[in-house]
C-alpha cells in the first residue's frame, strides 16, 4: 500500500484499495457466505421459510455421504482432476522450457501468438471441436483406421478419456504461462555450466530447472486442478452417463431439482476440497503464499 501510494499518490492508491476491497467483498466473500447459509438450511417451500422448520442443519452435507453414487462421482472427479493436472504438466513443461530457454527473441512473440490464437475462440466452441474430432466418424477415427491401428471405429466421446483430453487442452495456458514465467528467470549460464560439467539433460532438468520452477509448477497445478474440478462444459459435452463430473450433480441440484440448499452444500464441499488441494500443493512444492502470488 505504501509503495502504491508512493507511485500514484494517496488519492489514487486509496481508490484502488477501495475498489479491490469492494471486488473481494461483493464477488467473493458475500457469495460464499450466502452459499454457506443456503447449505445449512433445509429445502422448504416459500410459505414455510422463516417458520419453525427453517433451522440450521447439516443434513444437506450428510446427503453426500449417504448417497454412494454421488460419493463415487465425487471421488472420481477428484482423482480425475489430479490426473488432468498431471497430464497438463507433462504436456506443458517442454513447451514452457522451449519458450523460456530455447526460442530466439525474434521468434518468441510469434510462438506465443500461435499458442494464444486458438484460445481466442470460446471454450464451448473449442470443446465442441474436440467433440467433432473424437466422434465416431471424426478425423481421429478416420486417421487411425487409415493407419491400420483400428479395425473399426471407436466411440471416444462419452468416455473418461475424452473428458481428460478435452480438459488438458482447455487449460493448457493456465499451466504454460506460470511455468514460462518461472523458467524464464533461470540464468542460461547455469544450464550451460551444467552441460560443460557433463550433466545429462534429464539430470539438468531434475537438479536445476525443476527446483527453480517450483513456484510456477505450484501455481500451474493449483489453477489447473481447481478449473478441472469445477469444470462443467467439458464433461457435459464430451462425457456420458459413465463419466459424469461432480459439477454436473451440483448443476442438477440447482437447476433441475430446484434444491438450491442441497446444491450449495455440494458446491461448498467441492470448494473445501479445492482449498485443501491448494494447501497440499504448496506444502508438497515447499512454497509459501508469497512465492505463489509472484
Residue 95 pLDDT level (bands cut at 50, 70, 90): very high
Residue 5 lies in a domain: no
Residue 217 pLDDT level (bands cut at 50, 70, 90): very high
Residue 28 lies in a domain: no
What are the angstrom distances between the C-alpha of 90 and each of 70, 86, 87, 208, 271?
30, 6, 5, 17, 26
What are the angstrom distances between the C-alpha of 112 and each of 77, 91, 117, 173?
31, 16, 9, 10
Q: Residue 174 is part of which domain span? A: 67-292
Residue 38 lies in a domain: no
Residue 74 pLDDT level (bands cut at 50, 70, 90): very high
- Mapping DSSP onto H, E and C, the string for 18-79 reads HHHHHHHHHHHHHHHHHHHHHHCCCCCCHHHCCCCCCCCCCHHHHHHHHCHHHHHHHHHHHH
Residue 4 pLDDT level (bands cut at 50, 70, 90): low
What is the rounded distance in angstroms from the CA atom of residue 239 to the CA atom of residue 200?
A: 42
Please count the residues of the chain. Answer: 294
CB 230 within 8 A of CB 267: no
pLDDT of residue 2: 63
Residue 100 CB neighbour total at 10 angstroms: 21
pLDDT of residue 27: 86
Residue range 269-290, pLDDT digits in tens = 999 988 888 888 888 877 766 6
- How much is the mean pLDDT over the chain? 87
Residue 1 pLDDT level (bands cut at 50, 70, 90): low
Average pLDDT score over residue span 57-74: 91
Q: Which three cell numbers stand for residue 228?
A: 478441472
Residue range 121-175, pLDDT digits in tens = 888 888 999 999 999 888 999 999 998 888 888 888 988 899 999 999 999 999 9
Residue 133 lies in a domain: yes
Dihedral sign of CA atoms 136, 139, 140, 145 in order: positive
Residue 166 lies in a domain: yes
Average pLDDT score over residue span 184-202: 88
Residue 9 pLDDT level (bands cut at 50, 70, 90): low
Q: Which three cell numbers stand for residue 169?
A: 487442452
pLDDT of residue 242: 79
Residue 91 pLDDT level (bands cut at 50, 70, 90): very high
Q: Which three cell numbers stand for residue 2?
A: 505504501
Residue 39 lies in a domain: no
pLDDT of residue 220: 92
pLDDT of residue 243: 81
**63-72 contact pairs (CB < 8 A, 24+):** 63/262, 63/265, 64/265, 64/266, 64/269, 70/246, 70/249, 70/266
What are the angstrom distances between the C-alpha of 19 and each of 4, 7, 294?
14, 18, 21
- Cell match 456420458: residue? 240
- Rounded percentage of the chain residues whose pLDDT exceeds 70: 94
pLDDT of residue 262: 93
Residue range 225-246, pLDDT digits in tens = 999 999 998 999 998 887 889 9
**CA-based Rg of the chain, rounded to a whole angstrom?**
23
Report how many domains make up the chain. Answer: 1
Average pLDDT score over residue span 175-201: 90
Residue 6 lies in a domain: no
Average pLDDT score over residue span 69-88: 93
Residue 47 lies in a domain: no
Question: Over 90: is that where the pLDDT of 256 sits?
Answer: no
CATH number of the domain within which 74 lies: 1.10.3720.10
pLDDT of residue 7: 66
pLDDT of residue 70: 92
Question: Over 90: is that where the pLDDT of 5 sits?
Answer: no
Residue 73 pLDDT level (bands cut at 50, 70, 90): very high
pLDDT of residue 92: 95
Amino acid at each position: 500500500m505504501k509503495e502504491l501510494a508512493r507511485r500514484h499518490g494517496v488519492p489514487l492508491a486509496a481508490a484502488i484499495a477501495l475498489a479491490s476491497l469492494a471486488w473481494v467483498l461483493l464477488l467473493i466473500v458475500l457469495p460464499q457466505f450466502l452459499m454457506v447459509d443456503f447449505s445449512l438450511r433445509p429445502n422448504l417451500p416459500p410459505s414455510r421459510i422463516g417458520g419453525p422448520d427453517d433451522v440450521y442443519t447439516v443434513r444437506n452435507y450428510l446427503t453426500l455421504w449417504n448417497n454412494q453414487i454421488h460419493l463415487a462421482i465425487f471421488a472420481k472427479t477428484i482423482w480425475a482432476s489430479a490426473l488432468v493436472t498431471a497430464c497438463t504438466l507433462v504436456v506443458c513443461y517442454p513447451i514452457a522450457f522451449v519458450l523460456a530457454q530455447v526460442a530466439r527473441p525474434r521468434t518468441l512473440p510469434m510462438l506465443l501468438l500461435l499458442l494464444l490464437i486458438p484460445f481466442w475462440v470460446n471454450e464451448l466452441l473449442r470443446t465442441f471441436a474436440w467433440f467433432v474430432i473424437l466422434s465416431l466418424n471424426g478425423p481421429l477415427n478416420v486417421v487411425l483406421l487409415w493407419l491400420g491401428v483400428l479395425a473399426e471405429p471407436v466411440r471416444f466421446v462419452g468416455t473418461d478419456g475424452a473428458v481428460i483430453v478435452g480438459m488438458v487442452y482447455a487449460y493448457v495456458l493456465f499451466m504454460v504461462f506460470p511455468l514460462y514465467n518461472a523458467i524464464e528467470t533461470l540464468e542460461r549460464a547455469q544450464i550451460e555450466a551444467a552441460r560443460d560439467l557433463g550433466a545429462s539433460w534429464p539430470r539438468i532438468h531434475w537438479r536445476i530447472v525443476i527446483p527453480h520452477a517450483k513456484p510456477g509448477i505450484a501455481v500451474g497445478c493449483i489453477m489447473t486442478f481447481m478449473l478441472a474440478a469445477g469444470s462443467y462444459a467439458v464433461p457435459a459435452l464430451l462425457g456420458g452417463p459413465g463419466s459424469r463430473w461432480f459439477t454436473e450433480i451440483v448443476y442438477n441440484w440447482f437447476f433441475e431439482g430446484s434444491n438450491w440448499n442441497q446444491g450449495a452444500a455440494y458446491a461448498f464441499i467441492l470448494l473445501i476440497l479445492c482449498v485443501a488441494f491448494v494447501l497440499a500443493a504448496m506444502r508438497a512444492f515447499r512454497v509459501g503464499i508469497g512465492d505463489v502470488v509472484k
